[in-house]
Amino acid sequence: MLIKRPGDIKPSEITPQGIYARRRELIKSAGLLAVAGVAGIGTGPATAQTGAKLPAIRKSSLSTTEKPNSFKDITSYNNYYEFGTDKSDPAENARALKVRPWSVVVEGEVKKPRAFGIEDLLKFSLEERIYRMRCVEAWSMVIPWVGFEFNQIAKQVEPTSKAKFVEFVTAYQTDTMNGVRMPILNWPYTEGLRIDEAMHPLTILSVGLYDQMLPNQSGAPVRLVVPWKYGFKSGKSIVRIRFVEKQPKTAWESAAPQEYGFYSNVNPDVDHPRWSQKTEKRLPSFFANRKTEMFNGYADQVASLYAGMDLKKLY
């Protein structure tokens, strides 16, 4: 194959535009269109649960009162690079994702490691959490997730005193994900949180959107949601959760360490090396005329987690 190994790519090539240009180039030069075509199939029983109606869901006092984006906005403009790097790619290509059977293995520094089938996860008491979500690319949306607090999982597996961080590993399906043939990231996509961030009541595992099971492009059947951090911290289609002692390396840190830190808290005072983070466009508006707020507006709830830390260094 003509594809470079991830280590051969300069971080400067990993701009949204750079990825796009590279991909066009690769498709042309390697004839990958045929390979990419596998993502068109996949509407069999394996995906039957996606989109199914959820029962009446409790409302949460932790929801924003801002007006949510439409279901269509939320599911037609996505980042899910395993299915392509254009915002419209996941809606099209993630149809192939196999979401049943599904289980999430929870292991590492815990007293009771176990796997949770998706059926087990759906038994947690689900509530609606309407959150502002802010992408590092300076766009934002308001999204009515349905899910449960991550700390509910922790309660069941009982982390040991050595558990200082949590690593999240997402699905790697070489037969359904056309994007993983591109050396954009070290697949599978991984993310991490410090244990107190993971245990914070705002951190949820989401299984639904509005009154439906999560659409595939949104991270079916289960994804993380961390509303005070840039969107990439919210890993989609999670298969493994590890409680660990040392700070895990995340996929974006490995790809471009000078651009993406471990914490990645939304912060208008720390620009991305190549663009400002002071403002954002609230989709579907086209204009970046909205002021970005510290911790994406969740400072009252989470600022204390970072007391004494230099957030310009630890971005």
Ligand X SMILES: Nc1nc2c(c(=O)[nH]1)N[C@H]1C(S)=C(S)[C@@H](COP(=O)(O)O)O[C@H]1N2
Assess whether the previous peptide bond of 101 is cis (omega < 30° from 0): yes
SS3 state at 58: strand
Give ∠ CA 38-43-46 in degrees, rounded to 5. 105
* Span from 75-83, 158-166, 265-273, 296-304 in contact with ligand X (CB under 6 A): 75-83
SS3 state at 94: helix
| Residue 296 binds to ligand X (criterion: CB under 6 A) | no
Backbone φ and ψ of 148, nearest 5°: -145, 160
| Residue 170 vs 277, nearer CB to ligand X | 170
SS3 state at 164: coil
* Residue 81 binds which entry of Mo ion, ligand X, none, CB below 5-8 Å type-dependent: ligand X
* Distance, CA of 74 to CA of 140 (rounded, Å): 10
Q: What is the DSSP letter of 187?
A: S
Closest approach, Cβ 162 to ligand X, in A, equals 27
Interface residue with ligand X, options 131, 165, 168, 189 (CB under 6 A):
189
Map the footprint of ligand X across residues 209-248, applying CB under 6 A. 218-219, 231-232, 234-237
| Residue 190 binds to ligand X (criterion: CB under 6 A) | no
Closest approach, Cβ 81 to ligand X, in A, equals 4
Interface residue with ligand X, options 93, 170, 267, 292 (CB under 6 A):
170
* Burial class (CB within 10 angstroms; exposed 0-12, middle 13-18, buried 19+) of 167: buried
Widest CA span in the chain: 53
SS3 state at 71: helix
| Residue 109 vs 232, nearer CB to ligand X | 232
* Residue 127 binds which entry of Mo ion, ligand X, none, CB below 5-8 Å type-dependent: none
Catalog residues that contact Mo ion under the rule CB under 5 A.
79, 135-136, 231-232
| Residue 82 vs 167, nearer CB to ligand X | 82
* Residue 80 binds which entry of ligand X, Mo ion, none, CB below 5-8 Å type-dependent: ligand X
Interface residue with ligand X, options 82, 128, 149, 253 (CB under 6 A):
82
Distance of CA 106 to the CA centre of its chain: 18
Closest approach, Cβ 189 to Mo ion, in A, equals 12
* Residue 85 binds which entry of ligand X, Mo ion, none, CB below 5-8 Å type-dependent: none
* Distance, CA of 214 to CA of 278 (rounded, Å): 31
Closest approach, Cβ 234 to Mo ion, in A, equals 8
* Distance, CA of 236 to CA of 172 (rounded, Å): 11
Closest approach, Cβ 75 to ligand X, in A, equals 8
Closest approach, Cβ 245 to Mo ion, in A, equals 28
**CB-CB contact of 295 with 228 (8 Å):** yes
Cβ atoms < 10 Å from Cβ of 282: 18
Which residue has tokens 């991984």?
190
Closest approach, Cβ 296 to ligand X, in A, equals 12
**CB-CB contact of 205 with 150 (8 Å):** yes
| Residue 140 binds to ligand X (criterion: CB under 6 A) | no
Closest approach, Cβ 111 to ligand X, in A, equals 28
Number of shown-chain residues binding ligand X (CB under 6 A): 17
Binding site for ligand X (CB under 6 A): 78-82, 133, 135, 170, 189, 218-219, 231-232, 234-237
